[in-house]
Homo-oligomer: A and B are copies of this chain.
Amino acid sequence: MSDAVAQSPLTIACAQMRPEIGLKHENVEKSLRMIRRAHSLGAQLVVLPELCNSGYVFASRSEAFALAETMEGETVLAWLDIAKELGVTLVAGFAEREGDRLYNSAVLVGPGGIIGRYRKLHLWGEESLFFERGNLQVPVFATPFGRIACAICYDMWFPEVFRLAALQGADILCVPTNWVPMKNQPRELPAMANILAMAGAHSNSMFVAAADRVGEERGQPFLGCSIIVDCHGWPVAGPAGAVDEEIIVAQVNLSDARKARQLNAYNQLLRDRRTDLYQEMLGTSMLRGPG
């Protein structure tokens, strides 16, 4: 064994963009421009927001249905083309249709094609009126530079998602999101969405890259504050502003995620879990929560 420190350098970008509800062609074109800009800044992995091709605030199920596409649709095809052209890997949110079912999904594409897909597990608000809940668990995808898992927006409110990703070896959690402002957010503290990213990264020793959208849609403002967090839980890029489109970029060493789990001679973050006690309590239908 050598004392050399293994390196998995990676330049990550989050593209904080402003989609317009319904203008799918324009949104995809904009996403391509932002991917080109991120690539010109050195990015090898680019994360784009939730539902960045369709917009978020659907007026009806039929509107959402009309905007949704299959994995073979023009949006994913456009992302496949640019990933191949530039040699970049993308994680991007889109409205997915499978038969008559709709999912709030993220696709992971690389220069060699589709790497995987994630479907939002925890639906927020009126999303329940349009989408099915995700049915693909928390998959972890191997890539040439490391292991990637995905979460979308409200999924981050569930520490289980971070844990399931980390326990399957994810080095980084990529989060396409459409965070909305919270009414009681203190001005002097980070946004709660950023705090959840920091806590989840730290307590799982895993990078987190969250790309939010900006702009207001049918009266609904969005938060911005896209952020890249290292595996110790500290921001290495962002938080971005609340108003403007913006690309944030960070150079990281993905190897750190695996190394940092060994905290000292006695503690390894994931192995210290008291599964002997959790197993009767968590993940079972026994505990559905109090009234």
Contacts and interface: CB of A to CB of B under 8 A. Distances in A.
A78 interface: no
Nearest to A135: B277
B274 A284 contact: no
Nearest to A158: B273
B281 A137 contact: yes
A166 B267 CA distance: 26
B125 A269 contact: no
A173 to B, nearest CB: 14
B271 A279 contact: no
Interface residues of A, number: 67
Interface string A222-256: 00000000001111000000000000000000000
Contacts of A40: none
Contacts of A269: 157
A218 B163 CA distance: 35
Interface string A158-170: 1110111011110
A290 B186 contact: no
A136 to B, nearest CB: 9
Interface in A66-125: 121-125
B169 A290 contact: yes
Contact of A192 (B123, B159, B202, B285): B202
Contacts of A57: none
Interface string A274-291: 110111111111011111
A125 B268 CA distance: 10
